[in-house]
Amino acid sequence: MEIVVFGAGSIGSLLGALLARVPDHDVTLVGRGPHVSAIRRRGLRVEGIESFTVEPQATTDGTDLAADLVLVTVKAYDTEAAARELRTGEFDAVCSLQNGMGNEETLAGYLDCPVLGGTTSYGAVRTDSGEVVWNGAGEIAVGPWAPRGDDETAATVGAAMTAAGLEVDVVDGAGIRRRLWEKLAVNAAINPTTALARVENGALGDEPGTDLVEPIAREVGATARAEGVTLSDEALVDAVGEVVTATAENESSMYADVQAARRTEIDVINGYVVERAREHGIDVPTNRTLWTLLRAWEAERGLRAIDA
């Protein structure tokens, strides 16, 4: 299978490297200059859970490409720009493996091919150009977004990932929506709270951390149900607790963004909850407060327009 990984950051580089180990997969990474140059010179080196080097194609130009599958792994605020580049090419399917929600709608609005939603709990950190550390085994869930009933394409994509040794759960259209909302609850509870408090994930496992993350998850649950996705508050609170325990010594991606003075993905996480809740007349004060605080932090540092 010909596969494009659009967004060769940490998770994109790891998944691209794992897929590139399959002889039948022809992988192209789309990334930034230094990383791409290093891959072209000496390949992509993976360390951590396994250590190996692969030699995928690599480019900084995401236009006029053609492939059976595109995995989109850019930051959510770059999704529209990625979609504009990708629409110049030809693809049989595109799958978002990004944080937050709304990415699938954006991709479907630009691309004339099936769009899949996906989640991943694999962990990786880009340590240098041409290098990535694989620091967490996990699972990928993938399912049809548009058309919602395109189970065949989801199965084909799942099989391509499974061939690379990835743990993959192929679900239907309703299933992937439940998975995405569950992941949204986890991200909404962990990311902004750890970023603002400057703590590792484990700090949210006991009081006073649990006093904040539980209402966040419950607000997400109420919004998900209003959107027609069946998820209980208790299930979401439990999901947050499981991730906090499993990643207790980790720093969240949003905490890392704040430390590096980078723009965060707050708009497609807590901001998405706020916007969807507003449409249904639901009050989500904790999510709104976190969204406002992170937007204020970004605006003060010139990372976003004041009114954006």
Q: Does 168 have pLDDT greater than 60?
A: yes
Question: For residue 239, what pLDDT is reported?
Answer: 95
What percentage of residues in the chain have a pLDDT greater than 70? 99
User: Which pLDDT score, from 0 to 100, does residue 139 have?
Assistant: 94
Q: Where are the beta strands (DSSP E) in the chain?
A: 2-6, 26-30, 44-48, 52-54, 57-59, 66-67, 69-72, 90-91, 94-96, 115-120, 123-128, 131-136, 140-146, 168-170
Tell me the residue type at 239. Answer: A
Q: What is the mean pLDDT of residues 5-10?
A: 96
In the predicted model, is pLDDT for residue 102 greater than 60? Answer: yes
Q: Measured between alpha carbons, how far is 105 from 89 in angstroms, rounded to an integer?
A: 19
Peptide bond into 147 cis (omega under 30): yes
Q: What is the mean pLDDT of residues 145-162?
A: 97
Tens-place pLDDT, residues 229-260: 999 999 999 999 999 998 998 899 999 999 99
Please determine, for residue 81, whether its predicted confidence score (pLDDT) is greater than 90: yes
Mean pLDDT of 92-111: 97
Is 221 exposed, middle or buried (CB count within 10 Å of its CB: 0-12, 13-18, 19+)? buried
Read off the DSSP letter of residue 250.
P
With a CB cutoff of 8 Å and minimum separation 6, the contacts of 275 are none
Mean pLDDT of the chain: 96
Region 190-216 average pLDDT: 94
Alpha-carbon span 209 to 213, nearest angstrom: 7
Quickly state the pLDDT bin for 137 (edges 50, 70, 90).
confident
pLDDT band of residue 306 (cuts 50, 70, 90) is low
The catalytic residue positions are 183
pLDDT exceeds 80 at position 307: no
Q: Which structural domains are found in the chain, ordered by start?
A: 2-171 (3.40.50.720), 175-300 (1.10.1040.10)
Predicted model pTM: 0.93
Report which of residues 219 and 210 the model is more confident about: 219
| Helix 173-197 with 233-246: angle, nearest 10 deg | 60
pLDDT bin (cut points 50, 70, 90) of residue 304 is confident
Report pLDDT for 99.
93
